[in-house]
Amino acid sequence: MSSATGTPPTALTTVAAPVERRLAALLDQEIADWSAIDPDLTEPLESLRGFVLGGGKRLRPAFCHWAFVGAGGTPGDDAIVDAGAAFELLHAFALIHDDIMDGSETRRGSLTVHTQFAATHDDGGWGGESRRFGEGVAILIGDLAEVFADRLMIATPPAAFGAWSQLKIEVNIGQYLDVLGAARGGTDLETSRRIAHYKSGKYTIERPLHVGAALVDRLDEFRAQLSRYGSPLGEAFQLRDDILGAFGDEQRTGKPVGDDLREGKPTPLLAIARTNASPSQRQLLDRVGSVDLTDADIVELQQVVVDTGARSEIEATITALTDTAIDALEGLAFEPVAIDALVDLARYVSDRDL
């Protein structure tokens, strides 16, 4: 169990190490193969390697792993390590593209991929627009990450690949709704919860659990109960993400303070704040998503979210959803070590501070 907020539990760290070794081996081989063809291919592939191995919590591999082990799979089996590596590559694809759509300059405390390559363009004095070059290269790097991920999953049982494919559809659907909501502004609570459900909740927890059980051909047996655990916990995970996006410490999250407020993310946190706001508070909230928000504006908006009761309501919801998820493990015919791991992971994702 994690000993402090933000401290990863053993259930997470024991899964991360073999997945990272697999990722390093795969990407090192790709760099060697393509660099031998053309040295110009080294930089984008090394950028992907740095991105994938330079941070991340490895949550998706962990949930997949413990469903696999709980359903009778052998820890360390090549199939589950490959699946974990695939989830991290797919996550890299999603984050790299997400940063382009959001216009984010930092991720995990470093420059985003598109920003890095825009700087390379500027430094080289090349033709064309540096922003377009950076974004174009980053899109291609994200696409490569998705191809590498699919290659790791292509030989899995049909049920596992089916769950994997459905996950990919859902995360793209959720991302579209997120982009649409940010553009329209003022997204209602029901829509913001739907976005969180598809963009993050199912993608981070429920579907990785399904893939893990499917890798030992036991998805039909465990699907319903895994969803009763994974669905509420996935929502709790995203609600915690929303709080961190509005209030998180930049030194911990690697993203600017109040980043979601600057981007106008359509979150349940903001939907509740708008519902509860007075007319003067609503005028302040109407500035969410403005490109010219100052640090002082962010502090003022954060206070409105607190004063409207939105933050406390979301905190209470996170607690209730996490309890519901843990209760759903009762009677699940999994190996006891996997049940313990899933309880620890539930507490970690709902209480984390990064």
> What pLDDT does residue 257 have?
73
Q: Which residues pair with 173 in a beta bridge?
A: none
| Choice among 70-79, 256-265, 324-333 with the minimum mean pLDDT | 256-265
Say what percent of the chain tops pLDDT 70.
96
Q: Token digits for 25? A: 């081996």
Model confidence pLDDT, tens digit, residues 122-166: 999 999 999 999 999 999 999 999 999 999 999 999 999 999 999
Separation of CA 309 from chain center: 26
Burial of 36 (0-12, 13-18, 19+ CB in 10 A): exposed
For 170-218, how does the pLDDT look when each residue is reduced to its tens digit (9 = 90+)? 999 999 998 888 888 767 888 888 888 888 889 999 999 999 999 999 9
pLDDT for position 89: 98
Mean pLDDT of the chain: 92
pLDDT above 60: residue 4: no
pLDDT for the residue 1: 39
Superfamily of segment(s) 10-351: Farnesyl Diphosphate Synthase (1.10.600.10)
Taking each helix axis from N to C end, the angle separating 78-102 and 207-214, rounded to the nearest 10 degrees, works out to 160
- Would you state the pLDDT for residue 2? 41
Q: Which residues contact 124 (CB under 8 A, 6 or more apart)?
A: none
Q: How far, in Å, CA of 234 to CA of 198, rounded?
A: 9
- Give percent of the chain above pLDDT 90: 77
Tokens of 241: 């993400």
User: pLDDT tens for residues 223-263?
Assistant: 999 999 999 999 999 999 899 989 977 766 666 778 788 88
CA separation, residue 219 to residues 212, 276, 288, 309, 342 (Å): 8, 42, 42, 40, 17
In this predicted structure, what is the pLDDT of residue 254? 64
Domain boundaries, the chain: 10-351
Residue 107 phi/psi, 5-degree rounding, is -150, 125
pLDDT in tens, 215-224: 999 999 999 9
pLDDT of residue 5: 52
